[in-house]
Amino acid sequence: MKLMSNSLIVLGLSLGMMAFTAPVMAQDEASTLDELLQQVREARTEADRRYREREQRFIEQRDQQEDRLQEARDRHAEEEERQERLSEAFEDNEQELSELNDRLQVRMGNLGELFGVVRQVSGDAQGIVRNSIVSAQFPDRGDTVARLSEARALPSIDQLEQLWFLFQEEMTESGKVVRYPTSIVRADGTREDVDVVRVGVFNTIYDDLFLRYLPETGQLVELGRQPAGRYRNMASGLYNAEEGTINSMAVDPSRGSLLALLIQTPSLGERIQDGGVPGYIILALGLIGVLLVIERLIFLTLAGQRIKAQIGAGKPNPNNALGRVMGAYAENKDDDVETLELKIDEAILKETPALEARLGAIKIIAAVAPLLGLLGTVIGMIRTFQMITLFGAGDPQLMADGISQALMTTAMGLSVAIPLVLLHAVVAAQSKRLVQILEEQSTGIIATHADKLK
Amino acid sequence: MIWIAESYAALRDFFEAGGDVLWAILVVTILLWTFILERYWYFRLIQPRKTREALEKWNAMSDHDSWYAREYRERLLSEIRVDASQFIIYIKTIVAVLPLLGLLGTVTGMIQVFDVMTVLGTGNPRAMAGGVSAATIPTMSGMVAALSGLYFAASLDKRAKVEVERAADLLRYH
């Protein structure tokens, strides 16, 4: 197509030239027709020749273009061939690469697993070693294991052996009772260099004191609150024991958490604070009750002594109840028996309220204290449930705290009520005896005295 | 001899499992039984003598019909009543208080359970079991001790009344 269009252009051009040149030549010295004819012929020949030349040139150029086209086509084919070759090579390489990768994976497989296991085990070991009481004796051994558990590179044989050694050491030490010098922190915060005895991985003692290992600081601290005396005696016995003898010893199988619990148990003062307002009301009531009991005890004892003295004495003494009753008799002894009896009854009636006073109040306090305790418990439970409403039941520790507070008031109510009930019985018995002396014996005593006077 | 040590150890374990309230229960129970035994001893040995003395005093009186005599008899009987019913109110009170002490033990034991929960959460039933035993043992002990005294409280109360009645029968008007 391209070729044909080229030749058409060439032809068109040559025709145009022909039409253009003809009149020009006609103007040239055409003296005769023959000459003109000759001129025209020559001109035509000349034009023909020029046209042919140009045509020739065009053809040459066309051939040249064709050659270049061919050349370009050849190169294109060549390049395509090359591309094919390269992509084939690429695929080959790709495949080889993936094969090699697979082989790498397979060969890495065992080692990678080993690496994971080592990290996991050393992570576990770190926890054990960190919290172990043995670390108080060998303070630096946590570092190896920490390095191992955080390492990114594959562990070396040397490191693996260190890990193994650590486990072996922990096992061996857990079965030993050893004495070694170290520095401990006393309960008052001072440091002291002493010999301590470590019982396996369970307890460390100094004389009769149980020590606690703090993993955060790596220190041994004296427990602020020590276990019961029996256990301390065991500890002391073990601490001062001769080499090779057998001693009984109480160990903390939880490796320190039971002893830690002992410290966290709130003291009596903290417990009373837990009781809140109802707790304080109960305590105040209990105090009032005890004061009332003491007042009654003193009053009734004194009154009883005076009455006893009066029974022996002859003359009615107005400083005591019986004396006053006898005084009423002495004033009216000339009346007839019935009037006398009425007068004496009246005198007794006047005396009883003083003897029976405040007993009712003590009894009411003893009855109200447990009820107040119950009230405190209910208030505490309401608070606990409000907490559950706010924070959900997911945290048992939050709830347990509220409940133990709630129960505290019940305990306080009972602890106030029980002694008050017993004390009330004592005071009531005393008062009852005195009232009985007045009511049933006063006339008898008067009769005896009257007999004597007769 | 070993059984002594063994029973001592068992008793000690029991008291340690039960907590401090158990000691209060023990003290109160000992008090209760002291009073009960004292009363039986009194009724067996002292009471007959007192009745006899009162009877002698009564018989020694010249007249038994006057107002004075009747009042004097009332006095003698009242003295017997006061002596006979002494401590019985304590016995009754202690019998009433012992279950309350058991309840106190239950509450303190439950507080212990919740203390453990506060520190360790619910994940440690073994640690909580200590508090549970401290809650149940005093309740049981309080109940048992109260029941042990219940019969004697009633029986001694009746005995005191009977003794007074008997004395009243003896002190006859002539």
Closest chain A residue to B67, measured at CA: A337
Check residue A369 and give its pLDDT. Answer: 93
* Whole-angstrom distance, CA of residue A13 vs CA of residue A11: 5
Check residue A189 and give its pLDDT. Answer: 83
* Whole-angstrom distance, CA of residue A233 vs CA of residue A137: 24
CB contact under 8 A, A429 and B86: yes
Structure-token pair, residue A317: 């003494």
Average pLDDT, chain A: 83
A393 touching B (Cβ < 8 Å): no
Q: What percent of chain A is modeled with pLDDT above 70? A: 91
Distances in whole angstroms, Cα of residue A320 to Cα of each of A109, A331, A442, A448: 105, 16, 12, 18
For residues B55-75, give the mean pLDDT.
Answer: 81
A395 touches A264 (CB < 8 A): no
Residues of A in contact with B72 (CB under 8 A): 444, 447-448
| Burial class of A167 by CB neighbour count within 10 A (0 to 12, 13 to 18, 19+) | middle
Give the pLDDT confidence of A312-337 residue by residue, as tens digits: 777 778 888 888 888 888 888 777 77
Closest chain B residue to A261, measured at CA: B119
Check residue A244 and give its pLDDT. Answer: 82
Confidence class of residue A451 from pLDDT cuts 50, 70 and 90? low
| Residue pairs between chains A and B whose CB atoms are closer than 8 Å | 112
Q: The pTM is what? A: 0.66
Confidence class of residue A148 from pLDDT cuts 50, 70 and 90? confident
Distances in whole angstroms, Cα of residue A303 to Cα of each of A315, A321, A431, A433: 17, 8, 10, 11
* Whole-angstrom distance, CA of residue B74 vs CA of residue A439: 10
Q: So what's the ipTM on this one?
A: 0.84
Q: Phi and psi (nearest 5°) for A217?
A: -110, -10
* Whole-angstrom distance, CA of residue B47 vs CA of residue B83: 8
Residue A360 reports pLDDT greater than 70: yes
CA torsion sign, A187 to A193 to A195 to A199?
A: positive
Confidence class of residue B140 from pLDDT cuts 50, 70 and 90? very high
Residues of B in contact with A407 (CB under 8 A): 107, 110-111, 114
A278-294: b or e for each residue (b if 16 or more CB lie within 10 Å)?
Answer: bbebbbebbeebbebbe
A270 touching B (Cβ < 8 Å): no
Check residue B141 and give its pLDDT. Answer: 92
Give the pLDDT confidence of A246-298 residue by residue, as tens digits: 888 888 887 777 777 777 777 778 888 888 888 999 999 999 999 999 999 99
Taking alpha carbons only, the member of B153, B140, B39, B35 closest to residue B95 is: B153
Residues of A in contact with B171 (CB under 8 A): none
Angle, vertex CA A270, rays to CA A264 and CA A273, nearest 5: 145
Angle, vertex CA A378, rays to CA A375 and CA A379, nearest 5: 85
Confidence class of residue A8 from pLDDT cuts 50, 70 and 90? low
Residue A209 reports pLDDT greater than 70: yes
Check residue A28 and give its pLDDT. Answer: 55
Average pLDDT, chain B: 87
Half-sphere CA count of A108, side-chain side, radius 13 A: 9
Check residue A335 and give its pLDDT. Answer: 78
CB contact under 8 A, A421 and B97: yes
Give the minimum alpha-carbon distance from A296 to chain B in angstroms, rounded to a whole number.
17
Give the minimum alpha-carbon distance from B115 to chain A in angstroms, rounded to a whole number.
7
Q: How far is CA A320 from the centre of its chain?
A: 69
Instruction: Report the residue from A261, A415, A433 with minimal CB separation from B119.
Output: A261
Q: A92 versus A2: which is more confidently predicted?
A: A92
Check residue B41 and give its pLDDT. Answer: 94
* Whole-angstrom distance, CA of residue A310 vs CA of residue A302: 12
Give the pLDDT confidence of B83-136 residue by residue, as tens digits: 888 889 999 999 999 999 999 999 888 888 888 787 777 777 777 787 888 888
Check residue A86 and give its pLDDT. Answer: 95
Query: What does R_g of chain B's alpha carbons equal in angstroms?
Result: 25
Structure-token pair, residue A38: 């000759």
Instruction: Report the residue from B90, B101, B119 with minimal CB separation from A418.
Output: B101
Give the minimum alpha-carbon distance from B112 to chain A in angstroms, rounded to a whole number.
8
CA torsion sign, A244 to A245 to A251 to A256?
A: negative
Neighbours of A450 (CB within 10 A): 18
A331 touches A358 (CB < 8 A): no
Check residue B154 and give its pLDDT. Answer: 93
Check residue A18 and give its pLDDT. Answer: 53
Check residue B18 and give its pLDDT. Answer: 80
CB contact under 8 A, B81 and A417: no
CB contact under 8 A, B94 and A422: yes
